[in-house]
Structure 1
Amino acid sequence: MERGMVFSLSELLEMIGETLEACFAAPLWVVAEIADLRFDQTGHCYLELVEKHNQELRARARGTIWASFSSVLSSFSAATGRTLAKGMEILALVRVRFHPVYGLSLDIRDIDPQYSLGAMMRHKKEVLSRLAQEGYLERNRSLPFPPVPQRLAVLSSPHAAGFGDFLAHLQENPYGFRFRVELFPAFVQGEEAELTLLSALEEVRRRAKDFDVLVILRGGGAQSDLHWFDSYILGKAVATFPLPVLVGIGHQRDETVLDAVAYHSLKTPTAVADFLIERMRAFDELVLAAYLALKGAVTHLLQDQKITLTMLSAHLERRSRNALKDVQETTMQLRWRLKECARRTLEKNGDAFLRTWQKLGSALKATFLAHAASLEHITQAVALLDPYSILRRGYTLTLRQGKIVKSAEECAPGDILETRFWDGKVQSEVTTRGSL
């Protein structure tokens, strides 16, 4: 094979670079998605640009925004309210560059903010349309809102100013309402926002019975970070959440997917606090109105019952008075009739009663006399049996060791005996014992 011209690798690549730069001498508008971006200490911004079709990678190139063109970034942020971020589709004015060592790259000289806004709007509309077709768009708003939303699960950064404002606003409410707030920490901006928010949502979902409402707060972040809340996965998780979701992510102009699917969206965290306080106040007024209505009904009922009781009391007093009068008249009639009956009975049976009384008196007198004579005989008999009466007649009473001696056999020589007379006693000693 005949050998032609021989080039070194650097010569070849330099020729390719010169050819490319000659062919693409004028800047070109290129549509691409930002797959990654980073800044170095000198202020240069390095991007990885890709093109996908049905999530399949079709092209990739490096892009650079040199520090000398940093106005491109500030102009884009001022026009869109957002900074360049991963996942964003842009229309960029580029110059084609080729370096023998670093290969092909694109120097970005300008970015059309209107195209990016349109792309972001298209993406958001596509997400909302998909959620609507799948029946998720209105699901969270169809949940019943608790009348007393006191137990709050909050997804936010613990260091966010919006979270602090939210807590202070709740605690300092003029009605003295009390809220129990539990924070589930999550990033609410940056690339980790979607993952941490989904993780926190799942944790609250497992404890849904412990809370009345879920609150997602941002506040104090850059307006440019709102596109993290346009995620289909995050939107579906909020739409299907078992608790009413309140969103206060601190924006005034744009509505995110989370705003569209939540139960209620408010502009700031303090507005969310005001919403909860107002719901509590409405319930408080409802309870107060019910109390006043009940109090009025009870007062009216008591007044009616008081009138009824007064009428019944008067009626009962009249009936009692009439009944007492009837009883008194009946009693007087009965007393008069009893007295009259007794009088007629006495008049009719007076002689018989007198004769019976006289007979009863004579019988009692005879009985008394008979018993008195019998008692006298008994008294005389008892007197005759009195031991002292016997002793007076000359008899004596002998005792040994305090016991009456009834027979000589009971005594033995040496015994001390006591002999009692009617007028005294003597002691003696048994010397002999004999028989009659």
Structure 2
Amino acid sequence: MAMKILTVSEITKLIKNLIENSFNEVISVQGEISNLSTSPSGHLYFTLKDSGAQIKVALFRKYLALNRGYSPKNGDLVVVTGDITVYEQDGVYQIIAKKIEYSAVGLFYKKFEETKLKLEREGLFDSLRKKQIPLFIKKIAVLTSPSGAAIKDFLKILKDNGVCLKIDLWPVQVQGISAINEIVESIKKVSSHADYDLMILMRGGGSLEDLAIFNEEVIARGLVDCPIPTITAIGHERDVTIVDFVADFRSPTPTAAAGVIVERYRQITDLLFDGEKYIIREMENRLYRSSQRIDNLALRLDKNSPLSKLRRVNTFLALCIETLKNNINLKINELNGRLEYINAMLKKNTPQVKLNLAKKDIFNLEERMKKDFKKRLSSSLDRIIMFESVLKNLDPENLLKKGYCIAFRDKSVITDVKQISLEDNLEIKMKNGYIHTLVVGKKNLEERNG
């Protein structure tokens, strides 16, 4: 006999009929509200749970209006009265509630509030305790599931915005009791690395039950003890857990956490770019001003320095020496001419004695001329040496080395006591530096002698 093959719709309808016929009367169920949401049309949908199981509940707007005086919220322990039915499209059974009564605070919410109050009293939520998220971030540790959509979205946003920094993924479970110790141990290991600038504890959206581990006190205290600035990015914007209160910064979603990193990266990039432009502009201005100052000082130094004056004296002496040489050459030429004339005369007057005497006179005359030339040349060189010595003695730098000083007022040299007044600010130049002084008194030697 061939087995009958049923469609999904047929088997779901059979189960629907079986369940609804088994619960053909209105029933009341007690449980804790979880994952509460409101549709745009005003209907309420939530999960009713206890420690062992859970069931979906739909409370339509018309019945919600009959339950005035109580607004359902997550964590409440309530009694729901209604019909059991099967929602065929999803293949799940649910309660269509007609009445809802508040019973007490649910165990889940009660534990949440007790942990929150305990840590708050210890000051762990205090903003003064929390560390600032650094502006300059180079390396981040991310604690999350490596296969989840949260880390993929996080990395994609950083990549799309051109953020270049090192991200270490620390794989951890983000759901279930076994994840608690794993997360705590990973936080401790990350804390031992001094090169991390930031740690992010991340998980995508989920039900209150899925996010329950992030309400555990041991994880919260692990974040508090972490020396690295921390960010939590748990679930969706509406989801708030205990770790969000103790973290240094709470990001509503993993995507928003990526936005925080992008914003800081842009800020530091803008700061570096502005700083680079400022430094370049300032260096150009300083180089321009320094070049102008050097040019001005070079002109003044070339005009007024002792070396410049010495060059002019040397030029004058060189001209004198050249003139002297020309005069000597003229004199020699003149004497040579006379010598030739005498030789000619001697040739006409042949007596040997006169010739010998004439030669002797010529020799003596040449010796006197040589001595005279050497004497004049030596005298000229002595004068040059004397001028150089005088110039060196007149050099202000040599005077300063001998213990003299030069007084300036407004960068002008003071040569007369009448040039200064009481309380003038003077600059005294010495051989190895400057002294700034205030005039508190003066004496005019001419007036005193008078």
TM-score, normalization by structure 1: 0.52
Q: Give the SS at the match of 1:187.
A: coil
Task: Tell me the distance in 1 between the aligned counterparts of 2:212 and 2:104.
Answer: 12
Q: Does 1:157 align with 2:166?
A: no
Map 1:268-287 onto structure 2 (within 5 A).
268-287=253-272
Name the larger-Rg structure: 1
Q: Give the SS at the match of 1:287.
A: helix
- Larger relative contact order (Cα-Cα within 8 Å, sequence gap ≥ 6): 1
Q: Give the SS at the match of 2:285.
A: helix
Q: Give the SS at the match of 1:242.
A: coil
Task: Tell me the distance in 1 between the aligned counterparts of 2:157 and 2:238.
Answer: 24
Deviations 1:119-166 (A, max 9, x none): 655543432332233343347963343333231211111221111111
Select which of 158, 183, 187 maps to 1:170: 158
Q: Give the SS at the match of 1:333.
A: helix
Map 1:66-105 onto structure 2 (within 5 A).
70-72=55-57, 90-91=77-78
Cα deviation for residue 324 of structure 1 reads: 3.5
Aligned to 1:99: none
Q: Does 1:143 align with 2:128?
A: no
Count of residues in correspondence between the two structures: 280
Deviations 1:241-294 (A, max 9, x none): 111111111222242211111111112111111111111111111112222222
Task: Tell me the distance in 2 between the aligned counterparts of 1:80 and 1:264.
Answer: 30
Select which of 163, 180, 198 maps to 2:184: 198
Deviations 1:411-435 (A, max 9, x none): xxxxxxxxxxxxxxxxxxxxxxxxx
Task: Tell me the distance in 2 between the aligned counterparts of 1:113 and 1:167.
Answer: 46
Distance 1:281 1:255, change over 3 A: same
Give the AA of the match of 2:236.
H
Task: Tell me the distance in 2 between the aligned counterparts of 1:71 and 1:357.
Answer: 140
Cα deviation for residue 340 of structure 1 reads: 7.0
Q: Does 1:289 align with 2:278?
A: no
Task: Tell me the distance in 2 between the aligned counterparts of 1:46 and 1:302.
Answer: 76
Give the AA of the match of 2:319.
M
Select which of 168, 178, 191 maps to 1:182: 168
Distance 1:317 1:46, change over 3 A: closer
Give the AA of the match of 1:193.
A
Cα deviation for residue 90 of structure 1 reads: 3.9
Task: Tell me the distance in 2 between the aligned counterparts of 1:313 and 1:244.
Answer: 57
Select which of 198, 206, 230 maps to 1:213: 198
Contact 1:218–1:269 (CA<8 Å) still a contact in 2? yes
Give the AA of the match of 2:175.
Q
Task: Tell me the distance in 2 between the aligned counterparts of 1:293 and 1:140.
Answer: 35
Contact 2:176–2:210 (CA<8 Å) still a contact in 1? yes
Cα deviation for residue 233 of structure 1 reads: 1.6
Q: Give the SS at the match of 1:209.
A: coil
Cα deviation for residue 353 of structure 1 reads: 6.7
Contact 1:139–1:239 (CA<8 Å) still a contact in 2? no
Q: Give the SS at the match of 1:291.
A: helix
TM-score, normalization by structure 2: 0.50
Q: Give the SS at the match of 2:185.
A: helix
Task: Tell me the distance in 1 between the aligned counterparts of 2:103 and 2:309.
Answer: 104
Contact 2:125–2:246 (CA<8 Å) still a contact in 1? yes
Select which of 122, 131, 156 maps to 1:134: 122
Q: Give the SS at the match of 1:182.
A: strand
Distance 1:80 1:160, change over 3 A: farther
Task: Tell me the distance in 2 between the aligned counterparts of 1:338 and 1:182.
Answer: 90
- Give unmatched runs, 5+ long, in structure 1: 1-26, 33-44, 50-62, 83-87, 95-107, 359-436
Q: Does 1:265 align with 2:259?
A: no
Distance 1:292 1:136, change over 3 A: same
Contact 2:233–2:253 (CA<8 Å) still a contact in 1? yes
RMSD after superposition: 4.7
Aligned residues with identical type, % of pairs = 22
Distance 1:213 1:267, change over 3 A: same
Map 1:104-123 onto structure 2 (within 5 A).
120=108, 122-123=110-111
Contact 1:140–1:263 (CA<8 Å) still a contact in 2? no
Cα deviation for residue 326 of structure 1 reads: 2.9
- Give unmatched runs, 5+ long, in structure 2: 1-26, 33-46, 65-70, 82-94, 336-358, 368-450
Q: Does 1:305 align with 2:290?
A: yes
Contact 1:153–1:184 (CA<8 Å) still a contact in 2? yes
Distance 1:47 1:129, change over 3 A: closer
Aligned to 1:354: 363
Map 1:422-433 onto structure 2 (within 5 A).
none
Q: Give the SS at the match of 1:301.
A: helix
Aligned to 1:325: 312
